[in-house]
Amino acid sequence: MSIHGKNFLMVPGPTNVPDRVLRAMHRNSEDHRSPDFPALAKTVLENIKWVFGTTKGRSFIFPASGTGAWEAALTNTLNKGDKVISVRFGQFSHLWIDMMQRLGLEVTILDVDWGEGIPIDILSSYIAQDTRHEYQAVCVVHNETTTGVTTDIAAVRNILDRYHHPALLMVDGVSSIASIPFKMDEWKVDLAITGSQKGLMLPAGLGMVCASEKALERSKKNNLHRVFFSFEDMIVNNDVGYFPYTPSIPLLYGLKESLAMLMEEGLESVYVRHRRLAHGVRRAVEAWGLKTCCKNPKEYSDTVTAVVVPEGFDAQQVIRIAYEKYNLSLGAGLMKVRGRVFRIGHLGDLNELMVLATLAGTEMAMLEVGIPIKLGSGVAAASEYYMKTSKQVRGLFNNV
Amino acid sequence: MSIHGKNFLMVPGPTNVPDRVLRAMHRNSEDHRSPDFPALAKTVLENIKWVFGTTKGRSFIFPASGTGAWEAALTNTLNKGDKVISVRFGQFSHLWIDMMQRLGLEVTILDVDWGEGIPIDILSSYIAQDTRHEYQAVCVVHNETTTGVTTDIAAVRNILDRYHHPALLMVDGVSSIASIPFKMDEWKVDLAITGSQKGLMLPAGLGMVCASEKALERSKKNNLHRVFFSFEDMIVNNDVGYFPYTPSIPLLYGLKESLAMLMEEGLESVYVRHRRLAHGVRRAVEAWGLKTCCKNPKEYSDTVTAVVVPEGFDAQQVIRIAYEKYNLSLGAGLMKVRGRVFRIGHLGDLNELMVLATLAGTEMAMLEVGIPIKLGSGVAAASEYYMKTSKQVRGLFNNV
Amino acid sequence: MSIHGKNFLMVPGPTNVPDRVLRAMHRNSEDHRSPDFPALAKTVLENIKWVFGTTKGRSFIFPASGTGAWEAALTNTLNKGDKVISVRFGQFSHLWIDMMQRLGLEVTILDVDWGEGIPIDILSSYIAQDTRHEYQAVCVVHNETTTGVTTDIAAVRNILDRYHHPALLMVDGVSSIASIPFKMDEWKVDLAITGSQKGLMLPAGLGMVCASEKALERSKKNNLHRVFFSFEDMIVNNDVGYFPYTPSIPLLYGLKESLAMLMEEGLESVYVRHRRLAHGVRRAVEAWGLKTCCKNPKEYSDTVTAVVVPEGFDAQQVIRIAYEKYNLSLGAGLMKVRGRVFRIGHLGDLNELMVLATLAGTEMAMLEVGIPIKLGSGVAAASEYYMKTSKQVRGLFNNV
Amino acid sequence: MSIHGKNFLMVPGPTNVPDRVLRAMHRNSEDHRSPDFPALAKTVLENIKWVFGTTKGRSFIFPASGTGAWEAALTNTLNKGDKVISVRFGQFSHLWIDMMQRLGLEVTILDVDWGEGIPIDILSSYIAQDTRHEYQAVCVVHNETTTGVTTDIAAVRNILDRYHHPALLMVDGVSSIASIPFKMDEWKVDLAITGSQKGLMLPAGLGMVCASEKALERSKKNNLHRVFFSFEDMIVNNDVGYFPYTPSIPLLYGLKESLAMLMEEGLESVYVRHRRLAHGVRRAVEAWGLKTCCKNPKEYSDTVTAVVVPEGFDAQQVIRIAYEKYNLSLGAGLMKVRGRVFRIGHLGDLNELMVLATLAGTEMAMLEVGIPIKLGSGVAAASEYYMKTSKQVRGLFNNV
């Protein structure tokens, strides 16, 4: 019966595309070599820098995914055999490390239990010991979408600064940028990476990288192969307002619109809104008597919550029932935590009632699987929090 | 903050337009006199008859609203000064009666308390006494959207049959057709009326009438003025697949698609779905300790529930907070019940989570106004019911 | 084969809907009683007055067609049995007259050959002779879409002024408003009528009327029946930003956008553009050695050209071939001129190449029917004119 | 003034996106890990094989551009330092060769004058002399979009067969596949490459490759780096109906729809249509007294015609005027032929009138630049050809 009405898309990406953005993308192709095209290209290339928190960096938009953006960051700045250091605390950090290895880099991997954040002390000791500066890069995931654990990037920066280590700081901000605070310039991130299908509220199809001057310097002499993902080809073309090959024009118009929406709201408000919605979800988990996968409250992600099902239950069943009975799309547990967690994505174009509907659907699905929670308890806990922190707004329509 | 995410449109019309229908309507205009046009016109004219429950009737589609369809039904079949009888039990029956009077008809009005259904016995006695058959028409609203009260049309038919009364039976099915059972042929309805913006899941802009053979016969000699709403002009043009003036082409394509959706689901399933969603809402109202405006459970509407707020509270405040804080659109109390009720529309393209989100939003709004309900209680009551009656489905995407 | 690529919609309405307007209309329904709705309603009600050339008049937007707007103008201001005078010079003036008669008015009809404009002298003598002021209204079509003949409304106004005649001046501006100059206040038009599907570049579905203060005064006491088309109901609701019944919300958003486009371009530029495109078409007709249906060059319509096919040929065949072979929609000859003319609509969202493609398609279709024209001659004649009068512009994309 | 009406997008890609495809892409994101997703993935992966002319090959769809598909073909099958042979006869063959070199391959480049096709005899002699089979691949562009020259791939295949040479045959079919005959299995192509924005009538954003069994075999042991473009990762995921990273869902839905359109038409009809439209353009060029860049009529491209402007004129001026005055987008001359040619793309969703409008616009633009052509001559020549070869069709609307 759930085939009727809206699908509740609550996976941690791709996120819901606002109607305004869908409308902006509904257009015929146009000549990407026309004299009018640069106005579009330059607008989006400039405006995404604001989302990354950089004025000094250079932005790149590849017609690819976040995976492509990872590859662009690595291949444009490193050399075959380079040593890099990274932390593995979920599937996405795992996959990025796997890419590094397949590209011929030598990776020092710090493994932690999934649900824990990056071990600042251990990382620090590795950096401290690397007095010959063999590590060419420190690669960290800002928000591990697998577990709902967020990394303190400023703390990582501090380690490098403390030891005057010249390694590039590469940060995967795929599920954080445009949703929780990201401050590329302040944190001196050298390569910040994101995709279009999360906080930017677009379909997948754009992989974005911002590079610091130091990263750009390295890209002039490094030797990993790349053509499609070449910074240099992009720079030559972007400088005059074009792309080296045919860009995905609807996505660029969509990006222009989603950036306009973020600007209208203001990044600080965007962050507050994500935090508030996330708090509600965590209140619900507490009310259900369950645990989040993320162990340390300081590392709670404001974009995704991985909920641990009690011993003896299969989280995959919860997800299947939520989808097949209630048209609710929850995120699966990945790899090590498969079957043990389900994930609620709470990022992008969301509001209170979308979250509350999700909690209601999750309650029914859990109960059907036999997980002993009280119907309405999570919704009530979240509602109470939202009610206490609500504000009145106006002008929902007509502006746009 | 509610400016983000989806608006929850839960007024009893206009209802949510499915994405599939929105897509079908997104097209340039086309020549409405082309040799290809009749295929579209004939398809929708034929298929809406199925929704009305008629094979014998003739369908009319006016580029107007339900109000226009009322006017078409009256002006095509009655004469100036004709006596008609009607029941006033909410704003829509009131407005239709007002129209009858302004068109020069003499209306016997049976008034009942708003919240009650039509008084079958009283109506019966009027018909019984009208042995000279002065009443040319009995005009009833099938589902009074103001109060959430449904009429037993078969019972009305029985009265006319019992007394062999030849009056036309005119039924406003605006908020019932395509949502709850409507059987034009079985009930021998002479003029059945609906609009596009309710169970048909379209924007407003089409007023539809199905007329029985008897009604068509009357239309050949009656004398009320009409041109725009003329059955005759429509018949001449529809017979060859065209319209007497430029139709609203996007709405016709949208109607074709919404009818296809209803056919895929099957009308019986559509009715079951509406009933099930409505039951959940009524469980919630009960759990809150509140009353519905509709007094008789046999007359509960499966498309709209009017909830009575306790003495001393203003339902308008509930509506305002729901909208301004939670992006939830509830229906206002109209005329006599203004401020005393708010209305939840549960018709059209809806599912369980959309209803549960609505209940959650309503709870917060009521509590903020001071109405003493327990947060989560309504959601839990409805959830429990939905859970027990749920089924698994598949194939939400890709088919269309 | 023509099934591929764009349909060239060159009938004189409905016209091409700009992509920008289609996008603006692609949205879910919303509560038409919400506190945000009046902003939309008031914007469109105010801005269409600008298109009609009035600051003093009052605007009405009915969810209907131009035919409905005709009915609204008549029924709101006249009394049963009133005498009115009108000119019949094509199908649309004919149909309006037919409506007047069916509504119970007594119409003095001035008939002229189709292809001629309104006979100012004859009309003048009728008015002069009506010293008892029996004519309550003079009803004229500004641009007779059947023949491509335009009326000098200022001249009609002058007749009434000269004889101090108080008749209402009603003008059908369906195929003129927003395309060729229309000056309601300057011409003291009392009821100006249009539809959405012509110069306003929307689908059909909105019938619009602007009424002078004098017309509004009359509407307070006249006695023709109307409810759906009631000015009074509209005024009461419009004054607070709402409509008396559910409006077609997508069309209102589309209207807001099309008005924005007209404002960006400026009405004077809109008129110049229509005139220039029309000139090109007329050059082509001349180059083909054919005649336009409109006999007097001073009355040439800048929105539609009816081309007369030579004796012995059937214009319907030209239209059929153009459509079935070249995906080109031309307008048919109507009633008296059926088979004798085909019509090229050149109004709305058009440019030079759309017109030239039309001329090329028309040439092939005419030649196939056997009409002896020279391939390329019409295109060359129009091209030459466009080339000489062209200007450079920029910024086709990205702005919107 | 040209800001009004449709843009005539006549560059050789991106091509016009049919309204039907635009509609299919207008949808919210969905969970790309849902149980319903594989139905979509498998459909498009299977159906594109039909367009490539293969039943034996394996298809890959990367969220990238044609450039990415080039990179996928090379990096998945070759080793660092491998020798390959290629022909440079325009910008696209040039850029692909450049990529090969940057990826560390050793390329034997056969250069010919731009406007000539690939030198079969010379290529043959190189292959004949390579008795030690050092060439690992022969890489050719099927349709050089720069010059409008098409390659006889069967002839290239014959060379390899004649000398029993095991080199992989890689073919860039970006501007040919789905427009002119491409027979992967028959020609034993090992890696066939295309993008979404040409014959497939989509926006850019998908790079597609079909690989033969031989190519897949090589991919298991070759050593060029790739992760984003890895065949292996794709295979593992595609086999169960998913993708290794988030795909661009709207483009997949669009691809499903454009493939449905091609299937409805039939590939043979698609080829005939392209050939017929191309013939008309060539007739026009002849009528203008100009030359095409492609010298050998046997090599004329049916998807793009590069028109050489006479000595002393600047083709860039023609393009600029066409765009800025007439909203017509023509393709620029690239690299060696910049300023000497302009290009008319005639591929994708096109019909006769779109081409004729283009020719009319081109005539005006050329004349304004001073190129002495006769207005209407090209349009007349093309019209004559289209007229003689036209067929009647029906049912343009309503089907979809």
What is the rounded average pLDDT of the residues C9-19?
98
E strand or H helix at A343, and its extent?
strand A341-345
Mean pLDDT across chain D: 96
CB atoms closer than 10 angstroms to residue D104: 18
Provide the pLDDT for residue D34. Answer: 95
The verdict on residue D136 lying in a domain is: yes
The verdict on residue B247 lying in a domain is: yes
Read off the tokens for C257.
């956008």
Residue finishing a domain among C263, C288, C303? C263
C-beta atoms of C353 and D328 within 8 A:
yes
Rounded to 5°, the CA angle D21-D26-D30 comes to 115
For residue A259, report the phi and psi dihedrals to the nearest 5 degrees: -65, -40
D231 and D306 part of one domain:
no
Nearest Cβ partner for D398 among B40, B397, B398: B40
Read off the tokens for B328.
């939830």
Nearest Cβ partner for B383 among A352, A363, A384: A363
Contact (CB, 8 A) for B346 and B355: yes
Residues of D in contact with B24 (CB under 8 A): 23
Query: What is the sign of the dihedral through the CA atoms of C109, C112, C113 and C115?
Result: negative
The verdict on residue C394 lying in a domain is: no
Shortest CA distance from B396: residue in chain A: A3
Helix, strand, or coil (residue C168) = strand
Residues of B in contact with C223 (CB under 8 A): none
Contact (CB, 8 A) for D227 and D204: no
Provide the pLDDT for residue A392. Answer: 60
C-beta atoms of D246 and A64 within 8 A:
no
Partners for D (CB, 8 Å, 3+ pairs)? A, B, C
Provide the pLDDT for residue D261. Answer: 97
CA C260/CA C267 separation, integer angstroms? 11
Nearest Cβ partner for D26 among B26, B43, B398: B26
**D302-339: b or e for each residue (b if 16 or more CB lie within 10 Å)?**
bbbbbbbbeeebbbbbbbbbbbbbbbbbbbbbbeebee
C-beta atoms of D23 and B19 within 8 A:
no
Check pLDDT > 70 for residue D376.
Answer: yes
C-beta atoms of C31 and B9 within 8 A:
yes
Q: Is C1 on the interface with A (CB under 8 A)?
A: no
Check pLDDT > 70 for residue C67.
Answer: yes
How many Å lie between the alpha carbon of A104 and the closest alpha carbon of chain D? 8
Q: Is B353 on the interface with A (CB under 8 A)?
A: yes
C-beta atoms of C247 and B35 within 8 A:
no
Q: Chain C interface, mutation test: which of A398, A399, A400, most C Cβ atoms within 10 Å?
A: A398
Give Cβ neighbours of residue C268 (< 8 Å, ≥ 6 apart): none
Please write the tens of the pLDDT for every residue from A306-362.
Answer: 999 999 999 999 999 999 999 999 999 999 999 999 999 999 999 999 999 999 999
Q: What is the DSSP string of C264-333?
A: HH-HHHHHHHHHHHHHHHHHHHHHHT-EES---GGGB-SSEEEEEPPTT--HHHHHHHHHHHH-EEPEEP
Shortest CA distance from D363: residue in chain C: C383
C326 and C239 part of one domain:
no
Mean pLDDT across chain B: 96
Provide the pLDDT for residue D43. Answer: 97
Check pLDDT > 70 for residue C377.
Answer: yes
Q: Is B240 on the interface with A (CB under 8 A)?
A: no
Read off the tokens for A89.
């605390």
Q: Is D353 on the interface with C (CB under 8 A)?
A: yes
Instruction: Count interface pairs A-B at CB distance under 8 A.
Output: 179
Please tell me whether C343 is known to bind a ligand.
yes
Check pLDDT > 80 for residue C16.
Answer: yes
Please write the tens of the pLDDT for every residue from D224-233.
Answer: 999 999 999 9
Helix, strand, or coil (residue B4) = coil
CA A139/CA D227 separation, integer angstroms? 17
Structural domains counted in chain A: 2
- Give the confidence band of C393 by pLDDT, cuts at 50, 70, 90: low
Among C75, C45, C49, C76, which Cα is nearest to C61's?
A: C45
Q: Is A374 on the interface with D (CB under 8 A)?
A: no
Instruction: Count interface pairs B-C at CB distance under 8 A.
Output: 179
Helix, strand, coil tally for chain B in percent (to 5): 40, 15, 40
C-beta atoms of A33 and D11 within 8 A:
yes
C-beta atoms of B30 and D397 within 8 A:
yes
B237 and B271 part of one domain:
no
B31 and B96 part of one domain:
yes
Q: What is the DSSP string of C145-157?
A: TTTTEE--HHHHH
Provide the pLDDT for residue C395. Answer: 46
D88 and D68 part of one domain:
yes
Partners for B (CB, 8 Å, 3+ pairs)? A, C, D
Please write the tens of the pLDDT for every residue from B45-93.
Answer: 999 999 999 999 999 999 999 999 999 999 999 999 999 999 999 999 9
Please write the tens of the pLDDT for every residue from B252-271.
Answer: 999 999 999 999 999 999 99
Burial of D359 (0-12, 13-18, 19+ CB in 10 A): buried
Which of A64-78, A110-124, C1-15, C57-71 is least confident? Answer: C1-15
Rounded to 5°, the CA angle B68-B69-B74 comes to 100
D206 and D303 part of one domain:
no
C171 and C108 part of one domain:
yes
For residue B327, report the phi and psi dihedrals to the nearest 5 degrees: 55, 35
Shortest CA distance from D394: residue in chain B: B36
C-beta atoms of A224 and D224 within 8 A:
no
Check pLDDT > 80 for residue B398.
Answer: no
Residues of B in contact with A376 (CB under 8 A): 376-377, 379-381, 383
For residue B217, report the phi and psi dihedrals to the nearest 5 degrees: -60, -45
Q: Is C265 on the interface with D (CB under 8 A)?
A: yes
How many Å lie between the alpha carbon of B133 and the closest alpha carbon of chain C? 26
Q: What percent of chain D has pLDDT over 90?
A: 96
Residues of D in contact with B35 (CB under 8 A): 394
D93 and D223 part of one domain:
yes
C-beta atoms of D354 and C6 within 8 A:
yes
A253 and A310 part of one domain:
no
E strand or H helix at A209, and its extent?
strand A207-211
- Give the confidence band of D393 by pLDDT, cuts at 50, 70, 90: low
C-beta atoms of A397 and C28 within 8 A:
no
Provide the pLDDT for residue D363. Answer: 98
One digit per residue, pLDDT tens: chain A, 400 residues?
346 899 999 999 999 999 999 999 999 999 999 999 999 999 999 999 999 999 999 999 999 999 999 999 999 999 999 999 999 999 999 999 999 999 999 999 999 999 999 999 999 999 999 999 999 999 999 999 999 999 999 999 999 999 999 999 999 999 999 999 999 999 999 999 999 999 999 999 999 999 999 999 999 999 999 999 999 999 999 999 999 999 999 999 999 999 999 999 999 999 999 999 999 999 999 999 999 999 999 999 999 999 999 999 999 999 999 999 999 999 999 999 999 999 999 999 999 999 999 999 999 999 999 999 999 999 999 999 999 998 765 444 444 4
Residues of A in contact with B377 (CB under 8 A): 376, 380
C-beta atoms of C27 and A23 within 8 A:
yes
| Domain extent for A96 | 19-263
How would you write chain D as a 3-class SS string?
A: CCCCCCCEECCCCCCCCCHHHHHHHCCCCCCCCCCCHHHHHHHHHHHHHHHHCCCCCEEEEECCCHHHHHHHHHHCCCCCCCEEEEEECCHHHHHHHHHHHHCCCEEEEEECCECECCCHHHHHHHHHHCCCCCEEEEEEECEECCCCEECCHHHHHHHHHHCCCCCEEEEECCCCCCCCCCCCCCCCCCEEEEECCCCCCCCCCCEEEEECHHHHHHHCCCCCCCCCCCHHHHHHHHCCCCCCCCCCHHHHHHHHHHHHHHHHHCHHHHHHHHHHHHHHHHHHHHHCCCEECCCCHHHECCCEEEEECCCCCCHHHHHHHHHHHHCEECEECCHHHCCCEEEEECCCCCCHHHHHHHHHHHHHHHHHHCCCCCCCHHHHHHHHHHHHCCCCCCCCCCCC
Contact (CB, 8 A) for D33 and D187: no
Provide the pLDDT for residue A396. Answer: 45
The verdict on residue D2 lying in a domain is: no
Please write the tens of the pLDDT for every residue from B229-248.
Answer: 999 999 999 999 999 999 99
Q: Is B30 on the interface with D (CB under 8 A)?
A: yes
What is the rounded average pLDDT of the residues C109-120?
98
Nearest Cβ partner for C361 among D265, D350, D353: D353
C153 and C285 part of one domain:
no
- What distances in angstroms separate CA D5 from CA B174, C64, C306, one per listed residue? 39, 26, 22
Check pLDDT > 60 for residue C195.
Answer: yes
CA D238/CA D218 separation, integer angstroms? 19
CATH code: domain of residue B81 = 3.40.640.10
Residue finishing a domain among A205, A239, A263? A263
Please write the tens of the pLDDT for every residue from B7-53.
Answer: 999 999 999 999 999 999 999 999 999 999 999 999 999 999 999 99
How many Å lie between the alpha carbon of D4 and the closest alpha carbon of chain B? 15
Read off the tokens for D271.
């080829």
CA B154/CA B152 separation, integer angstroms? 5
Q: What percent of chain C has pLDDT over 70?
A: 97
Contact (CB, 8 A) for A99 and A123: no
CA-derived radius of gyration, chain D: 21
Nearest Cβ partner for A327 among B8, B351, B383: B351
Q: What is the DSSP string of A180-199?
A: S---TTTTT-SEEEEETTST
Contact (CB, 8 A) for D352 and C326: yes
Numbered residues of the known binding site of A for substrate: 343
What is the rounded average pLDDT of the residues D3-7?
88
Look at the block and give the residue holding tokens 């769809």: D61
CA D169/CA D301 separation, integer angstroms? 21
Shortest CA distance from C23: residue in chain D: D26
D161 and D23 part of one domain:
yes
DSSP letter, residue C116: B
B166 prior amide bond cis, ω within 30: no
Sheet holding C207-211, edge to edge: C58-62, C207-211, C191-195, C168-172, C135-141, C83-88, C106-111
- What distances in angstroms separate CA C50 from CA A307, B116, C273, D237, one per listed residue? 58, 48, 18, 59
Residues of D in contact with C369 (CB under 8 A): none
The verdict on residue B1 lying in a domain is: no
C181 prior amide bond cis, ω within 30: no
C-beta atoms of D392 and C276 within 8 A:
no
A235 and A326 part of one domain:
no
- Give the confidence band of C4 by pLDDT, cuts at 50, 70, 90: confident
Q: Is B225 on the interface with D (CB under 8 A)?
A: no
What is the rounded average pLDDT of the residues C83-98?
98
What is the rounded average pLDDT of the residues B218-222?
97
Interface of C with B in 92-121 (CB under 8 A): 98-99, 102-104
DSSP letter, residue C29: -
What is the rounded average pLDDT of the residues B121-142?
98
Residues of D in contact with C325 (CB under 8 A): 390-393
**B144-179: b or e for each residue (b if 16 or more CB lie within 10 Å)?**
bbbbbbbbbbeebbebbeebebebbbbbbbbbbbbb
- On the CB side of B104, CA atoms within 13 Å amount to 12
For residue B383, report the phi and psi dihedrals to the nearest 5 degrees: -55, -45
The verdict on residue D394 lying in a domain is: no
- Give the confidence band of B334 by pLDDT, cuts at 50, 70, 90: very high
How many Å lie between the alpha carbon of D264 and the closest alpha carbon of chain B? 17
- What distances in angstroms separate CA D351 from CA A163, B26, B386, D355, D376, one per listed residue? 67, 22, 53, 7, 19
C-beta atoms of B11 and C27 within 8 A:
no
CATH code: domain of residue A272 = 3.90.1150.10
Among A182, A208, A149, A144, which Cα is nearest to A13's?
A: A144
The verdict on residue B210 lying in a domain is: yes
Interface of B with A in 114-153 (CB under 8 A): none
C-beta atoms of B24 and D23 within 8 A:
yes
The verdict on residue D384 lying in a domain is: yes
Residue finishing a domain among B202, B229, B263? B263
Strands B135-141 and B143-144: unpaired
Instruction: Count interface pairs C-D at CB distance under 8 A.
Output: 179
- Give the confidence band of B2 by pLDDT, cuts at 50, 70, 90: very low
Provide the pLDDT for residue C396. Answer: 44
C-beta atoms of B68 and C228 within 8 A:
yes
ipTM of the prediction greater than 0.90, yes or no: yes
CA D261/CA A262 separation, integer angstroms? 37
Helix, strand, or coil (residue A346) = coil
Q: What is the DSSP string of B192-247?
A: EEEETTSTT-S-S--EEEEE-HHHHHHHTT-----STT-HHHHHHHHTTT--SS--
Contact (CB, 8 A) for C101 and C107: yes
Residues of B in contact with C103 (CB under 8 A): 225, 227
Written as one letter, the residue type at B128 is: A
